Amino acid sequence: MNDAWKRASARIDTYREWAVEVERKLTAIPAIAPDSGGTGELAKAVAVEEILRGIGVDRIERIDSPDPRAEGGVRPNLIARIPGGGGGRGRLWIMSHLDVVSEGDRTKWTSDPWQVRVDGDKVYGRGVEDNQQGIVSSLLLARALIDEGIVPAREVCLLFVADEEVGSKHGIQYLLGTQREALFASDDLIVVPDGGRPDGTQIEVAEKSIAWFKITVTGVSTHASTPERGVNAHRAAAHLTVALDEHLHRRFAESDPVFDPPTSTFEPTKREPNVASINILPGEDVFYFDCRVLPRYTLEDVEAEIDRHSREVEGRFGVTVRREAAQREPAAPPTSPDAPVVGALRRAVAAVYGVEAQAEGLGGGTVAAFIRRAGFPAVVWARMDETMHAADEYVLLPNLLGDAKVFAFLALQ
């Protein structure tokens, strides 16, 4: 690789302590969405902008999505631009999200989730990996380019979005709806550092359809000693749960080696409380299915299968069954494994980490799906342990520094 990349990489290696301090500053700002009981991302967006201006980035635009529930009445999105050398190359976009999830069960943390704790190469705290690994790595890239006086081969655009954890209505969806023409172009390289393997070998180019179904079974409540006077909704719901678990996997059984896991998944998950006492026959029972469906199947086909078994249970037990979608996202068109961003990222990962990365599909949903649905090739990549959303979430400092070097490689190609 050229001398500029070697200089940028060497400079990034000197930023270890600065990376910790940025993580410390951002972690202390709980940017939790109002949907999850927080006040939003405004304070964190202000902090990121202060850091950017402090390292010499002055082309920064903030695009606010109105939300009266949030601090300041807005959900902020930031775009920071570092001019490139031109030459007909598309821009490099690195898109991270500002919001985090709550700490969850505080008793399972071994330290304060909102105060960074450093243990060797591990930095602990809520959000340090999801998605501050992406935020901090892109800031490391920006600082290295400016400190070294390097003009990148292509314009570098750092995009920090709101609302990723609860649907992206105020984040990338808002931007694509209001700023689409000012954002991406077909020849841009778009990287979302929000998922990956510990060795960095996974480049996510496709996602399964996602549907979270809420299924409500309604019967007639009565005393458990006189079950003939009621209709036990719990019994009917239990039968329906088992039937769906068996038949959905059988009906949609094909596999695709591009995806990990290679098959569609249908998992019964949450159940809502039904009755307070053991001696009461439940008149209502509510349960949920998390469905991740290969793109070769439609969600309409899955819904039809759920409805077919629901009607059978209604007829057998005398209950009524209602299906609702808590979340429903059909699979977006995949990014081609031959897209320029995939090839460029493969070369960058090989140069930095010495491994061969492969284009793959995932069961989980990311904001890249919205970008692909808008017609732009995007990939999800990072080298991470994926401790996100767990107690004692951590990020590895070698990953923060290494990912910044990968981004520098992309910027300088």
Beta strand residue intervals within 208-278, DSSP E: 209-218, 222-223, 259-260, 265-271
Domain containing residue 214: CATH number? 3.30.70.360
Q: How far apart are CA 24 and CA 21, in angstroms?
A: 5
**Is the C-alpha dihedral spanning 170, 172, 175, 177 positive or negative?**
negative
Average pLDDT over every residue of 252-267: 94
Domain region containing 407: 3-207+331-412
Last residue within a domain, chosen from 328, 353, 373: 328
Taking the model in full, what pTM does it have? 0.86
Q: How far apart are CA 324 and CA 54, in angstroms?
A: 48
Question: Do strands 74-82 and 156-161 pair parallel, antiparallel, or not at all (unpaired)?
Answer: antiparallel
pLDDT at residue 86 tops 80: no
pLDDT of 85: 87
Number of domains in the chain: 2
Catalytic residues: 99, 164
Print burial letters for 316-331: b (CB count within 10 Å at least 16), e (below 16). Answer: ebebbbeeeeeeebeb
Average per-residue pLDDT for the chain: 96
Provide the CB-side half-sphere exposure for 378 (13 A, CA). 28
pLDDT at residue 180 tops 80: no
Q: Any idea of the CA torsion for 322, 327, 333, 336, to the nearest 10 degrees?
A: -130
Candidate from 85-89, 211-215, 322-326, 402-406 with smallest mean pLDDT: 85-89
pLDDT of 1: 56
Last residue within a domain, chosen from 328, 357, 376: 328
Same domain, 408 and 279: no
Average pLDDT over every residue of 340-360: 97
pLDDT in tens, 270-303: 999 999 999 999 999 999 999 999 999 999 999 9
Same domain, 153 and 72: yes
pLDDT at residue 223 tops 90: yes
pLDDT at residue 193 tops 60: yes
pLDDT in tens, 117-169: 999 999 999 999 999 999 999 999 999 999 999 999 999 999 999 999 988 99
